[in-house]
Amino acid sequence: MLRLRLATPEDRAQELGANLDAAPGVSRLSLETGVAGSAVIEADVVNEAADDVVDALTLRGISRHDYVMTRLDVVASDRYESAHAPGNEAIAWVELLGRARSNSRPINRFLVLMAVAGVLAALGVVKGNAILIVGAMAVSPDLLPLSAACVGLVGRRPRIVRRAVVTLAIGLALAGLVALVLTLILDAAGALGDFRIGGGGLETFSSTDYSTVLIAAAAGVAAMLTFETRASGAVGVAISVTTMPAVAYWGVALGSGEPGAWGALLVLAVNVVVLLATGTATLAAQEWMARRAVAAERAAARPG
């Protein structure tokens, strides 16, 4: 359930309120008179109706700066909850696009976390320690721009796609460079000793086979199915299993002069392409099913 709050001149409030009140999926509408000839309209909007409401406001010349739409955590009867459980709701594209715009930017927090993930993953490769690599996957926020790119592709927002792909590339490049620099420092300090890369089964990060594609495909599906839930942080670990180990392996191999650097880069490229493809396909399928469900409900609600 979403909550719409709209500011409008008082002389337009009655007209806009009546139009919103008549719109399918809009309920509990209220109108309050403000100051200096202004008014505020509030209403509950179900996910299925969110995009239609936004389109209707745009057609009536309402700027996106004049309203906000927020998500409500509804506490209600079992009957309501079963009918509006997250798995049963249509996708609110206006919400997904908003999150995609935010996640497609290379903000400082994102860059710092990618650098930290690069340090942990590099040490994991150097030590042959899988626990450190899992820690790097937990820290890495690469799920955010990747999901944003998928949303942009399905929503036909090329600007979001470009920005998200650039952000993802910057983040992965930063993690790889951090791994490379750290390896060079350790080598110069004599800390690597007779280091040989690929211990503990990590050599798989530099070779591509059918499992590379299958793992990335499963991770892409998981990413989009959980993008709008609180589980997205946990699923981010599953996404990073296809990116962070390969990035760190590339940096460590290049910095230590060991073989496998370009093989790891190929693994990374294949994983990113498959993640984007399966994530986009999953989201497109969700959007198609949601539109079919909404159309069926509206057809059933028509008289006669």
Whether pLDDT at 137 is above 60: yes
**What digits encode the pLDDT tens for the residues 194-219?**
888 876 667 778 888 888 899 889 98
**What digits encode the pLDDT tens for the residues 249-283?**
999 999 998 888 899 999 999 999 999 999 999 98
pLDDT at site 265: 92
pLDDT at site 114: 95
**What digits encode the pLDDT tens for the residues 21-69?**
888 888 889 888 877 778 899 998 887 778 888 888 888 888 888 888 8
Whether pLDDT at 74 is above 80: no
This prediction has a pTM of: 0.76
Q: For residue 166, how many other CB atoms are within 10 A of its CB?
A: 15
